[in-house]
Every structure is written in C-alpha cells, then in structure tokens.
A and B are shown apart, each in its own frame.
Chain A
Amino acid sequence: MKKMFLPVMWVGMASWVLAGCTKEPVNHLTEEETRIYITNHDSTVSFSAFHTFSVADSVAVINDNQFVQRDQNAFDQAFLAALKTQLQARGFTLVDKTAKPDLGINVSRLYNNYTGLVSYTDYYGDYYGYWDPYYWGYPGYSYYFPTYYGVYNITQGGLSVDMFDLKDASGTNQLKYVWNGLVRGEGLFNPANASQEAQALLSQSAYLKTN
C-alpha cells in the first residue's frame, strides 16, 4: 500500500501541474489582439462610382436587437471623426446629409446580454484546494456548501458600420447596402482606440476608394 502511494501521488501531481500548464490563448493576448475586424461588401458595386458621403451625426445604441437611443459619447465622437478622416483619405468628399451624398453611413453600438446559472456546489468542487481549513483553526474539517445557484450576466459589445448607396436609391426605392464593417473584442468602446479601429476597418477594404 505504501508502495502505491508514491506513484499515485506522482501521477496526480504531474496531471495537476501539466494540465494547469495548458497555455490558454485568451490569457496570452493583448487587448488589441483580442479584437477582430470583419468587413463585407457588395462585390457587384464599383466604389469609384461614388464620390461623396455623409455620416450620421450620432450613433445608434442597440441592446438585444432593440433600438435604445441615439448617442454621442466620447467614443462615438472620436470614432465618427476618425471614420470621416479615413474615407476622405481614400478620395471621398464629406458633404452634409442635405447635399445628396452618394453614400450614407450609419454607425451602431450593439450590445447582447447573456444570462447564465452557476451552481455553487460545482464551484466549490472546482476550487476546493484553494481554501485551507487550517487557516480558520479547524484542521481536518471540510467545507460544506448547500446546493444553491447564482445568476451571472455577461454583456458583449460590437461596433457596426453600415454604408448604403444613396445615389441610386431613388430609382429602386431601396437604400442598398454596399459595405459593412464590424468590430468586436476588448477595449472596443475606449475613445483611445477609436482611430485605430476606423483605420483597421478601412485598411482591409482596399476596394473602398474613388479611383
């Protein structure tokens, strides 16, 4: 029995140490690296046909697919300004919405809420080894938890930029989508990141230019 103890202990220790050494990808990302940028466009559209654009002066806030309000916080202002700068750098001319722009752009902040349930009995099972009953002066005791549950709520955000063809709208009675950009990840709505996010979306859309 004594001979069995040491090998079993070694196996247990090796499993615990090495399984714990799994390199968890999320723990090895900087805030910038957590973000992803997704763009789509209508491949039948030639963007050289458009010359002017206008951007909505505020951002739509959408929570669980429900419109909440239009807003213009520090991030919104920084992002809208950066977006205009990026499009102008690609040859488009910024005009007022009353000047019949060729392209119209909406920016939205999207929030999705997820609710989950955690069992404290399972939680206790996972973290058993972290608590030391000796600390409270009760050596040999074990912790007891009744079965009860806790609710947690996670909110995930996204930034969406949608570009529509206004030039040809009158003939079709439709505001046709021509380009969309989506950003997700950490630090998404930090005003300090707004310029970098606008640049990233446009730089991966090389076709988005006037010539």
Chain B
Amino acid sequence: MQLTADEEKSLNGDQGETVSSAYRILLAIGEATDAEKLVPIKWVHISGVNYNTIGDSGVQFLEKFSSNAKVAVKTTINPMGFDRNKTNRLSENFVKKQMSIVKSFEAIGTIPSFTCIPYEIFDIPEKGSMVSFAESNAAVFSNSMLGLLTNKESSLSALASSVTGKAPLSDLRIEEFRRPKVVIKPNFKLETELDYGLLGYFAGKVVRDSCVAFESVAVKPGDIKMKSVSAAIGTSGSCGMFTLGEKAEEVISYGKEECNIIKDELNTSEDGDLITLGSPQLGMNELNLLDKLLEGKKFTKRCLIYCARAIHKQATQIGLIDRIERAGGEFICDSCTCLTPLVTRDEVDSVITNSIKGAYYLNRSNRLGVSLKDLMTIVKEYTNQK
C-alpha cells in the first residue's frame, strides 16, 4: 500500500506516538487486504467498549492511547458492561475499570452512544459512502441493507480510522468485491428471525469470501430478520456482506439437515432460568413487535431487554417502555447480551434467547446453557394472561 508523504510522516511519529501506531495498524490491514491507498471515511463505529471484552490490557491501552489522540471523524461506540443509570451488583473493580474505558473514549471525543445498532439511531450517509464499522452486525447490516461501504473492521482498526479519518481502499470498499461468488439456497421455508439467524450462522461458517448471496429470501424494509442474519454471519465467520436475490457461480444448498447441525451446536439447553433479548440491542421495530405480542400478557420468567438509551428514550415517550415493563420486561440500557457481566453462572445455569450471536457468546464466554427460541414462541411459552 502506498502512503502519501504526509501519511508517511505521521507513521514516523510527526504527530506523536498514538497517531503513529494508528498508521501502523492501517498499514498492516491495508497490506492484508491488498489496498493501494488510504481514503477518507465519513463515520467510524468502534467496538471493544465493554470491560468484559477487552480486559485489563485493553483498559491500559486505551488510557495511554487517549492521552494524546482526538477523533478526526464522527465516531460512535459499542455497548459497555452495564446501565449507567441503574445500580447493580457488579464488583467495585469492574465498575472502576469500565468507567476508565468510558473516560478514555470521552477523552478521544467519541459520541457516548453505547450501542451496537448505530444504523437505527444516527442519520445514515448517502449510499456509497465510505465508513469504518467494527461491530460485526453493524458492518454486515450497513453493507447489505444500507449501501454503505465498510470492511468488517476490528476494534483496533476502527480506532485507527477514528483518529486518522482514513481507511484502506480495499475489499468491500470496492464495487467489484461486493458481487458474490457464492449463493446459498435454502430448500425449505424460513419463517422466524431465528430461522434467518441460523441461516446467517451457516453462511459465515461455509463462506470464505467477503460477500455472499442468499436465494429465495425476500424482505420488507425494517424487517428484524435482516438484523438477525447480519449478527449471525458476523459471529461465525469473516464474511462482511450479503445480497438478496443475486445470482452467483457456486450454489450451496441449505437444508433442514444443515440447519439442525447448527441448531445442535448453539441450542445447549432445553429450557432456561431467564430470558434475554438483545444482541443486537432492540430497536423500535422489535419493541413495537414485542409490545403487540405482549398485549394482555405478563412474563412468567425474568425477561432482560437490552436496548440503546436513545431508543429507550424514544420508546418511553410513546408509552412503549411503560407497557412492556408492566408485562414484566426489565430494560437495561447502554449494554448488550454479548459478554454481559450481568448474567453469570453464579446466578443462573441457562438462558432463553432468540439471538444466535447471544447464544454463541453466552455459551462460549459466559459458560451458560442456551435455549434458542424465536420471539413469538418465547412470548407464547413464558407469559400468562394478565
């Protein structure tokens, strides 16, 4: 990859150690993805904000990094470990370390969004705009549904793009690589968001390319199934985009058998002690759907609902939050199911969720059993008439 004279100077330390390390990262990912040059980007979304994900070495890294770096472009950030407005039983150490991360991002100048669904909260730039999104569901969703151009960035590469305003021109930022070579063809009818999540997880596993096509998958705008597919693809693989209805040379069939193998891997428990919704965090579409499903009903198990604060605020104004709370839902803002410190083995053995991504991380990282059910089934099985 060719750097300009100014970029070369920055790499060599002209703007200090932090910017130099940012260029070191950009150079490495540019080489890896065969980029010829860096290009300006309009928006960065950073992951690795939850202390449970980055640990002590991450806390120290960000403390140092933030001491002399500022955002060069609009930058939003992923969920943290807990709800800033709610008391919780987390250790003093966890809270202290988490707040250090929050402070570091504040110092860099990021927007304290604490969301993994920035695409449902912030204004979307025009189609074809270059962005740099690290959160995998956001990268896949934005490439596939919004026409934004991003690679599936890492926490560190997005951070590097944030303080330089640049990213390599490569892979999914180039039109020709956004055309799929492989199409996945389901040979049975997919119905729920969970079915679509399982399809996404399968796609991530079998496709090595950056882009994949799905055949016989039709969606309406705002369909929650596409969020589910996006998060699941991002979990199991390296694929950063899907297209709908496009043809491709290679066809991979996806049948009941393939679906059941994936389900057996992720569905590790028959039942659960509590319900957790939101990985990705719930948006207005899902809250509206949940509200409708819950009419006249009340949860029979604890139901945690992870939600971005901006969405929560909006939903409060129209009475949605109040109604769902009266049906027994417990809202947690600023955070998400993935690697949450709020659901641990100390208190529960297993959980119920409709999220493939949630199921993967709750099992692998939180070591919990997971019962996978779609949202309609969850409401049907775990509510009483009020």
Partners in one complex: no
